[in-house]
Amino acid sequence: MDRLYKIVEGYFKRFPKGVEPYQMATRILEECGEVAKEVNHFEDSGIKRLKYGEPNKDKLANEVRQAVVALMQLVVYYNIEDEFEKSIEASLNGMRAEKLID
**Residue-wise pLDDT tens digits, 43-92:** 987 787 888 889 999 999 999 999 999 999 999 999 999 999 999 999 99
Confidence at residue 87, expressed as pLDDT on a 0 to 100 scale: 98
Asked if residue 27 belongs to a domain, the reply is yes
Confidence at residue 48, expressed as pLDDT on a 0 to 100 scale: 77
Asked if residue 7 belongs to a domain, the reply is yes
Confidence at residue 50, expressed as pLDDT on a 0 to 100 scale: 83
Number of domains in the chain: 1
What is the domain extent for residue 14?
2-97
Asked if residue 54 belongs to a domain, the reply is yes
Asked if residue 9 belongs to a domain, the reply is yes
Confidence at residue 64, expressed as pLDDT on a 0 to 100 scale: 98
Asked if residue 102 belongs to a domain, the reply is no
CATH of the domain at 80: 1.10.287
Residue 19 · residue 12 · CB < 8 Å: yes
Residues in the chain, overall count? 102
Model confidence, pTM: 0.85
